[in-house]
């Protein structure tokens, strides 16, 4: 099944093969199936991962959470729990909705938080305030949850958080660093959602969008002990040179926290986290392995290189291009036709005024490195279907991408310098467009040599 609106492969057999591989990866991380693989019910026994919960002993069952996959995950949970579900509220990215009967879906802004996200999170917090020791709370966490579940600490406004988020996104900081700061300005992140639900039992079903799936980083770890401190948050803003660029209330709150005048986020051993069970239901590795399986079925010699790819997008592009050349010219590490699959999440340090995202920037940089190579294609895909502030998921380039741009009077190099990959790839027909996928497990990169 082809999950892509663009490009239209037409009679291009090679592009059809690439899109088939990427589509298989997306199918493998469908959030509803991910929940059903992990959560089953047999009468009053609810099995989640390796634990069993007796619903007869649960007075009420609540569903909360946030992320791009939240609505689909909520629908799956509803189908399992049926009338045992008491109530719920989940915050999702605008447009990432799905039908639910009992769980209220709040659409909100991403990646920059907005008032709708604050309102939805406040409803969630109010619901948890009523949870007791005989209740069960299911927390549905997926990519984007950190921005979507926004409820700033007292003294910090939404405007402050929007300015902070913008500065963090522009400076090229990795998600781990960004979330270190967010956790210390929030009422729900860094284990604090579980603290609000205490003394109820809490089970988090987590669709990971972070390299390596560290629980305290995914959606800023709302039900996980936080290993970072106020001092760490201060250090991030200093390290990336934006301390003086963020709002004064943000700096003041972090300084007060670092001085020990307000409590830090919950740490390992906190009693409020004693009854929390965190379960990864899907991740980048599952998507990457599905891509490998499909590529092999399509006749490619295939290798999964890594699901831990990080770094500046245009620098990662150089590595992918070098791998393509090694296969094309030397037959290493695989014979042709070959496919290399990689997963992870790159970053972009924005220096220009153009439009694009990390996956589009990576593929545009790769296009410059593989120009005039007839038998090479390189793809990079955001599995949520949204790469940066665009309607594209990424890009799929080949050895003629640069030449096609020149025919349109465009310079690939100039577009890259201006961080302007989106209009360039759109003009030459090399954008990957899926629309909202309602899932998010990092990015996938693929190198094809025919």
Same domain, 41 and 20: no
Averaged pLDDT for residues 1-19: 93
The two three-digit tokens of residue 311, written as one number? 């770094």
**Residue 175 maps to a domain:** no
d(CA 257, CA 237): 15
How far is the C-alpha of 158 from the C-alpha of 167, rounded, in Å? 14
Q: Are residues 276 and 369 in the same domain?
A: no
d(CA 296, CA 176): 34
Mean pLDDT for the chain?
96
Cα distances from 357 to residues 150, 170, 313, 380, in angstroms, run 23, 12, 9, 11
CATH code of residue 360: 3.40.1480.10
388: left (phi over 0), alpha (psi -120 to 50) or beta: left
In DSSP terms, which residues pair with 309 in a beta bridge?
A: 344
Distance from C-alpha of 439 to C-alpha of 109, rounded to nearest angstrom: 16
298 with 420, same domain: the answer is yes
Same domain, 212 and 331: no
Q: Is residue 96 part of a domain?
A: yes
Write down the pLDDT at residue 341: 98
Same domain, 211 and 296: no
Q: Is the pLDDT of residue 1 over 80?
A: no
Q: CB–CB of 4/19 below 8 Å?
A: yes
Residue 108 belongs to a domain with what CATH number? 3.40.50.10180
Sign of CA dihedral 359, 360, 362, 363: positive
Q: Domain range for residue 110? A: 31-151+186-228+265-282
Q: Is the pLDDT of residue 42 over 90?
A: yes
Kindly state whether residues 443 and 342 are assigned to the same domain.
yes
Say what the pLDDT of residue 70 is.
97
The residue among 96, 56, 95 whose CA lies nearest residue 74 is 96
The torsion of the CA quartet 416, 421, 426, 429, rounded to 10 degrees, works out to 60
User: CA 97 to CA 76: how far, in whole Å?
Assistant: 13
Q: Are 127 and 200 in contact (CB under 8 A)?
A: no
Instruction: Give 130's pLDDT tier (boundaries 50, 70, 90).
Output: confident
Tokens, residue 444: 């996938």
- Over the range 219-229, which residues count as b (16 or more CB within 10 Å of their CB) and which as e? bbbbbbbbbbb
pLDDT tens track for 159-217: 999 999 999 988 988 888 999 999 999 999 999 999 999 999 999 999 999 899 999 98
pLDDT tens digits, one per residue of 322-371: 999 999 999 999 999 999 999 999 999 999 999 999 999 999 999 999 99
Rounded (5°) CA angle 2-284-165 = 100
């Amino acid at each position: 099944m082809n999950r892509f609106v663009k490009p239209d492969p037409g009679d291009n057999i090679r592009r059809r093969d690439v899109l088939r591989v990427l589509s298989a990866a997306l199918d493998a991380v469908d959030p509803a199936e991910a929940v059903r693989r992990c959560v089953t019910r047999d009468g009053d026994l609810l099995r989640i991962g390796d634990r069993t919960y007796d619903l007869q002993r649960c007075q009420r069952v609540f569903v909360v959470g946030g992320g791009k996959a939240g609505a689909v995950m909520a629908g799956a949970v509803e189908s399992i729990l049926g009338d045992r579900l008491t109530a719920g509220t989940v915050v999702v990215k605008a447009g990432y909705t799905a039908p639910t009967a009992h769980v209220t879906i709040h659409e909100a802004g991403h990646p920059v938080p907005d008032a709708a996200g604050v309102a939805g999170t406040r409803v969630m917090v109010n619901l948890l305030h009523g949870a007791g020791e005989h209740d069960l709370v299911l927390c549905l966490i997926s990519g984007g949850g950190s921005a979507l579940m926004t409820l700033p600490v007292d003294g910090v406004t939404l405007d402050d958080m929007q300015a902070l988020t913008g500065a963090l996104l522009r400076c090229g900081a990795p998600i781990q660093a960004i979330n270190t700061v967010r956790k210390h300005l929030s009422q729900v992140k860094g284990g604090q959602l579980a603290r609000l639900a205490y003394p109820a039992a809490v089970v988090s079903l987590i669709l990971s969008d972070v390299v390596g799936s560290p629980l305290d980083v995914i959606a800023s770890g709302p039900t996980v002990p936080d290993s970072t401190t106020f001092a760490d948050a201060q250090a991030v803003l200093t390290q990336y040179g934006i301390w003086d660029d963020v709002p004064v209330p943000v700096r003041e709150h972090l300084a007060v926290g670092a001085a020990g005048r307000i409590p830090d986020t919950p740490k390992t051993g906190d009693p409020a986290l004693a009854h929390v069970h965190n379960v990864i239901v899907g991740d980048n590795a599952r998507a990457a392995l599905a891509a490998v399986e499909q590529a092999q079925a399509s006749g490619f010699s295939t290798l999964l290189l890594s699901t831990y790819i990080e770094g500046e997008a245009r620098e990662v592009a150089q590595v992918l291009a070098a791998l393509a050349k090694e296969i094309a010219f030397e037959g290493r590490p695989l014979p042709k036709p070959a496919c290399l699959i990689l997963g992870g999440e790159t970053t972009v340090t924005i220096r220009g005024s153009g439009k694009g995202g990390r996956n589009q920037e990576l593929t545009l940089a790769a296009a410059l490195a593989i120009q005039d190579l007839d038998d090479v294609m390189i793809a990079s895909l955001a599995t949520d279907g949204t790469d940066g502030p665009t309607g594209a998921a990424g890009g799929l380039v080949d050895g003629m991408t640069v030449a096609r741009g020149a025919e349109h009077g465009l310079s690939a190099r100039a577009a890259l310098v201006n961080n302007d990959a989106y209009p360039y790839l759109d003009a030459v027909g090399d954008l990957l467009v899926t629309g909202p996928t309602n899932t998010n497990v990092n990015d996938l990169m693929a190198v094809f040599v025919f």
